[in-house]
């Protein structure tokens, strides 16, 4: 209850004022410009790596999936998480090979944040899911097949 009260009472204006004073809107806009359009438009792992400025990615056992299912009953909501034990992990991206565009989400991990993220993605059909990690300028990945019994792209 406490958290909800805070959200309610803090109201729109106060949040706006705080965010503005923290310079948040400026960073928000800067990040909007940084949306890597080309990475979100390509179809496979290698092209995503190239769009992110790398050349190739090597498979790594230091990346593991967290709570990604073997079989997803509903492709519209597939929980996927990834964790990286590779030193100097800079970013973690989630890719679904057989979706219309492979890249689903890309997370930048600053110092002080654990290289572990979880989110939920849509999957059109049974596919390989990749966790792509950029660490110290190099790219690594882990792969896992997730079977989908009901597609999540309007099918």
Partner 1 sequence: MSDPMRIRAQLTGDKVDVRVLMAHEMETGLRKDAAGKIVPAHFIQNVIATCNGKTVLSAQWGPSVSKNPTLSFRFSGAKVGDKVIVTWVDNKGDKRTDEALITAAA
Q: Which residues bind partner 1 (CB under 8 A)?
A: 2-3, 6-7, 10, 12, 15-16, 18-19, 22, 24-25, 27-29, 31-32, 34-36, 39-40, 76-78, 81, 96, 99-101, 103-110, 112-114, 116-123, 152-154
- As a whole number of Å, the end-to-end CA separation of the chain is 39
| DSSP string over 58-91 | EE-TTEEEES--SEES-TTSEEEEEEE-STTEEE
In the complex, the smallest distance separating the C-beta of residue 100 from partner 1, rounded to whole angstroms, is: 6
Q: Which is nearer to partner 1, 82 or 142 (CB)?
A: 82
In the complex, the smallest distance separating the C-beta of residue 95 from partner 1, rounded to whole angstroms, is: 9
Q: Which is nearer to partner 1, 28 or 53 (CB)?
A: 28
Strand partners, 117: 82
Q: Which is nearer to partner 1, 57 or 123 (CB)?
A: 123
Alpha-carbon torsion, ordered 58, 86, 38, 28, to 10 deg: 180
Q: Is there a contact between 91 and 108 (Cβ–Cβ < 8 Å)? A: yes
In the complex, the smallest distance separating the C-beta of residue 140 from partner 1, rounded to whole angstroms, is: 19
Q: Which is nearer to partner 1, 56 or 113 (CB)?
A: 113
Token couple for 106: 């890309």
Q: Which is nearer to partner 1, 60 or 127 (CB)?
A: 127
In the complex, the smallest distance separating the C-beta of residue 55 from partner 1, rounded to whole angstroms, is: 21
Q: How far apart are CA 132 and CA 135, in angstroms?
A: 10
In the complex, the smallest distance separating the C-beta of residue 92 from partner 1, rounded to whole angstroms, is: 9
Q: How far apart are CA 99 and CA 22, in angstroms?
A: 38
């Amino acid at each position: 209850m406490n958290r909800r009260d805070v959200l309610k009472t803090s109201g729109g204006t106060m949040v706006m004022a705080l965010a503005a004073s923290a310079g948040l809107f400026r960073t928000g806009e800067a990040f909007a410009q940084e949306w890597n359009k080309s990475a979100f438009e390509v179809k496979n792992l290698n092209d995503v790596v190239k769009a992110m400025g790398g050349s190739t990615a090597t498979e790594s056992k230091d990346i593991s999936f967290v709570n990604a299912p073997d079989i997803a009953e509903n492709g519209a909501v597939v929980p996927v998480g990834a964790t990286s034990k590779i030193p100097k992990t800079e970013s973690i991206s989630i890719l679904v090979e057989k979706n219309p565009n492979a890249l689903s989400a890309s997370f930048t991990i600053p110092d002080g944040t654990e290289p572990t993220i979880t989110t939920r993605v849509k999957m059109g059909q049974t596919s390989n899911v990749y966790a792509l990690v950029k660490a110290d300028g190099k790219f690594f990945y882990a792969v896992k097949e997730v079977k989908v019994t009901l597609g999540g792209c309007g099918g």
